[in-house]
Amino acid sequence: MTIDPHQEKRGFEAEVKQLLDMVVHSLYSNKEIFLRELISNASDAIDKLRFEALSDPALYESDSNLAIRIRFDKEAQTVTVSDNGIGMSREEVISHLGTIAKSGTREFLSHLTGDQKKDSHLIGQFGVGFYSVFMVADKVTVLTRRAGLGAVHGVRWESTGNGEYTVENVEKPSRGTDIILHLKKDAEEFLDNWRLRSIITKYSDHLNLPILMPKLTEDEKVTEEWETVNRATALWALPKNEVKAEQYNEFYKHISHDFEDPLAWTHHKIEGGNIDYICLLYLPAHAPFDLFHREAHHGLKLYVQRVFIMDQVEQFLPNYLRFIRGVIDTTALPLNISREILQDHPSIAKLRSALVRHTLDLLEKLAKDDPEKYAKFWKEFGNVLKEGPAEDFANRMRIAKLLRFASTHHDTDLQSVSFTDYIQRMKPNQKKIYYVTAENFNAAKSSPHLEIFRKNNIEVLLLSDRIDEWVVSHLPEFEGKPLQSVAKGELQLDEITNEDVATKQAEEQKEKEQSQVFDALLKKIKAILDHQVKEVRLSHRLTSSPVCLVRDQDALGSQMERLLKAVGQTVTESKPILELNPEHTIIQKMREGLNEERLKEWTQLLYEQALLAEGSALPDPAAFVQRMNKLWMEMMR
Ligand code: ADP
């Protein structure tokens, strides 16, 4: 049978072109990683074949010695990486090697600056995979055939990396993929037996798959015989004391396609309990670009007795731990398990709770032994872990201990204070953990609600991430101390101030008098703001601001209200309470008497500034500006 080559020339997708450009210009300082990327792809392809062959053994085509073969040819100036894995059909070649299927690609590309150092760091995080070959090659030929399709279904793909590639049909008797790199002049260093072997052992010693190179004669001539270069044992199956830190690091890079070392890992072999498994879990040093994408890939690699079953298995970890990478290998699942069956398999729940426990152990240990690394982790993934108290009720308190917040105890927006730190600094009378929520750190820091707390030197947690009100709504208390918003409910002053009985009595007396003196004003203001506020009362919170808005103890916070509105939920708005500072000159002036029109204007202005201070939008901003300017003009007269 003759083959219709059906050759065509195609252009890369725009994103690929951009990425290729960046790869060549920003990553050249670490060229050797091209080999790691190709080996990773080859090993993934072999894993896929092994898995598909479980239900269709014919795919082995009488060649079940799965291996990766690497050879070089000094004369032709080529390095070739071959695998007898699953291979690709013509359609697959076009879609896998001509486009980027990763979520968040466009967003990633928009982060690139043109500054090579910064960009190379970003590209490392993104992972370039196959395209890294263009760092070392000026032409790349891919010969591939999908397992089971027959020799005439081979495909040849070729590109110089300059925006276009060709594809044509060819005959390829063996299944799998050969990647032939025509090396650039400045990449000739890779035409060297020892150089290639040392890169292979550095990056891929631990693959559970042999990597072969031709045996050399004594005078370094290439022979027809192949020999295994790596150790080819599954890293996770080795006892911990036989694995070095570098090997753990390299294995992480292999499974995660990350360029940087992980922050930490935890490795367990559990046998003879109620469920047998081995797990190796890694904490990455950087958040991937798609951490907050709904369709993003998360999860662990699943093996059953060393046989790769599937990638990105999300069932083993809850969402709030989706940043964890790693491997789970178990005898508790059948080899032929499918994604659909996996969902409901009775072992999943057991494995999941074990893996959550290992992960929380790892985080606790890191927080205790290496706070600096923990701070790094928090910066990258804190906002994900904050989903924990709502998602995982059973582990709520363990997760709460791991949370970190900004606080009035520090000047910076760094989130470094734990509930435990906070409790240690609580005042003798203090019974609650106080927090304020706001749109951003500065708004939280200068919230008028903090005035009385600052005056009495009481720490308040400053919560300004979008998810924070959601977090505290799922954490009513920590170690017996209720969490209390400083902008909600009535303040228990005696918890905050540390006064003796006499002063307290004097204060109470003063309050009584004030409430009589201000009674008429409070009523008038309430009448003016009848539609906007639920109540008008005197405040104990303020020392320098004239007014603030307060919510009922069980009402939604203003931040949560905005959040729900933003996602299109109908929010039953609870009217806020307006609190006045009786010591403030403006309030005293108002009490002493203003004509009706003025009182109205001033009241509106006070209400509007209270809205602004809590970060809420004004219902009629232009009217506010007019009122303010009018006041200003009066002052100038
Ligand atoms: P990634 O590996 O991160 O998905 P790559 O750019 O490295 O990205 O590869 C793109 C896709 O090309 C892979 O997901 C795989 O489907 C396919 N591919 C690459 N190399 C091989 C190979 N040796 N055998 C089979 N398919 C491959």
In this prediction, residue 256 carries a pLDDT of: 85
Supply the residue whose CA is at minimum distance from atom 11 of ligand 1: 96
In this prediction, residue 596 carries a pLDDT of: 87
How would you classify the pairing of strands 461-463 and 481-485? unpaired
How would you classify the pairing of strands 176-183 and 78-83? antiparallel
DSSP state of 12: P
Q: Judge contact between 526 and 536, C-beta under 8 A.
A: yes
Task: State the helix-helix crossing angle for 585-592 and 596-613, rounded to 10 degrees.
Answer: 160
Q: Judge contact between 5 and 102, C-beta under 8 A.
A: no
With a CB cutoff of 8 Å and minimum separation 6, the contacts of 367 are 374, 402, 418
How would you classify the pairing of strands 264-270 and 300-304? unpaired
In this prediction, residue 25 carries a pLDDT of: 75
Supply the residue whose CA is at minimum distance from atom 4 of ligand 1: 129
Q: Judge contact between 51 and 308, C-beta under 8 A.
A: yes
User: For residue 86, which atom of ligand 1 is closest to its CA?
Assistant: 25
CATH numbers and ranges of domains, the chain: 8-227 (3.30.565.10), 236-378 (3.30.230.80), 404-486 (3.40.50.11260), 499-636 (1.20.120.790)
In this prediction, residue 294 carries a pLDDT of: 59
Cα of 210 to ligand 1 centre, how many Å? Answer: 19
DSSP state of 259: S
In this prediction, residue 36 carries a pLDDT of: 87
In this prediction, residue 340 carries a pLDDT of: 76
* Residue 45 CB less than 6 A away from ligand 1: yes
pLDDT in tens, 292-348: 765 566 789 998 888 778 888 888 999 999 999 999 999 888 877 777 778 788 899
pTM: 0.78
In this prediction, residue 127 carries a pLDDT of: 67
Q: Phi and psi dihedrals of 497, rounded to 5? A: -90, 155
* Residue 257 CB less than 6 A away from ligand 1: yes
Which parts of the chain sit beneath pLDDT 70? 1, 27-29, 102-103, 121, 124-125, 127, 293-297, 493-495, 498, 558-559
- DSSP H stretches of helix in 320-478: 339-344, 346-369, 371-385, 388-391, 396-402, 419-424, 441-445, 451-455, 468-473
In this prediction, residue 504 carries a pLDDT of: 79
Question: Which structure tokens are listed for 626?
Answer: 């007019």
Residue in 66, 96, 177, 297 to alter for ligand 1 test, most ligand atoms within 8 A of Cβ? 96
* Residue 85 CB less than 6 A away from ligand 1: yes
In this prediction, residue 220 carries a pLDDT of: 82
